[in-house]
Structure 1
């Protein structure tokens, strides 16, 4: 999996809450065959194309892997295999010297394959529980709000928690929401009562069938009923 594919999977809206989330993923180099030398973050927190912009514009093959650019001996001594479009001089030469110094100090993994690691975890493995904790801590620090708290409530089944989260965020497929997303429907009116358009509020509160369910729930709890 490439760095771009990883970012596509995870999405980066989380960086609005946890700014260093992107840089917490790095590649641990094995043979270097599945790590893009310039595009994946492996030597530095940012991809090398960002850190060494002048050198990046002088390369011939932007998709070359670490294996294509570096050969390590049994003593961990690297040999560099560059493919510059022209000989680096001046500031680009200084950048190249800085890069080779960093590469000379890099100790590659004993593993045969390249591996993604997550620096926020002691074991290097991605953990949703840890992500939830970090998000909650940052939300509380920056917003003093518990609106988007993600901690599990062990007294509520997971599928119920997910359903409530989707309801709060407007992610349930009522007809108005489907219409907003370009789904072609014959009508956006409530398919149960046909008294109004099917919004989330209507489907879960104001529809007469929803009201009937709430009436039964209130009676079960010992309340007087649903106010009209």
Structure 2
């Protein structure tokens, strides 16, 4: 089994975040909470595209169809289709690719074993999981902690030796999702948030909720999502970074 909280880092694929945080824990599990599904998918898309540009294999677990996923990113001048055709990237829908029930005794290793089979028998270098709360038992905080811990351990298993996983979920303001954030921060090596400052202007603040290692930046970073270019540092009226 791998050691958690690896000191090696892997890039987000979002330049402003990489420059401030120095990346994600490599070969481990991280999670980010986002204000909505679209913004969350943009974060995951950056993460996957960065790996594909380096020749890595990547997989996305999502509720989106291939057409929806591809068309969304074409608006941002990112074409994933060639990677899908070349089998460098795999798009796996929760249904019908996965069938499972999440309970107190549920083990997550079979999910990744099935994912490896669907990806041609080899585990991808990067896996992005949209709506990761789908995989967590949300009945109460104890079960959330248990599910999150087992998911983290599954990512540390031998079959995931060279795989980095980034999960995303929407931070709804209900008590269940507030408890979910607590559970993730208790059990996972790294947790982050991207909160909306101005939804109309696509302005966000990025924060580190759980530091993966000593010296990791906790300073908030203000970002703007610009169509066709992705996330950039938000500028003030004087042209200085906010």
TM exceeds 0.5? Answer: no
Higher Rg: 1
Between Structure 1 and Structure 2, which shows a larger proportion of helix residues? Answer: 1
- If asked which structure has higher relative contact order (CA below 8 Å, sep 6+), I would say 2
Between Structure 1 and Structure 2, which shows a larger proportion of strand residues? Answer: 2
TM-score, normalisation: structure 1: 0.19
TM-score, normalisation: structure 2: 0.19
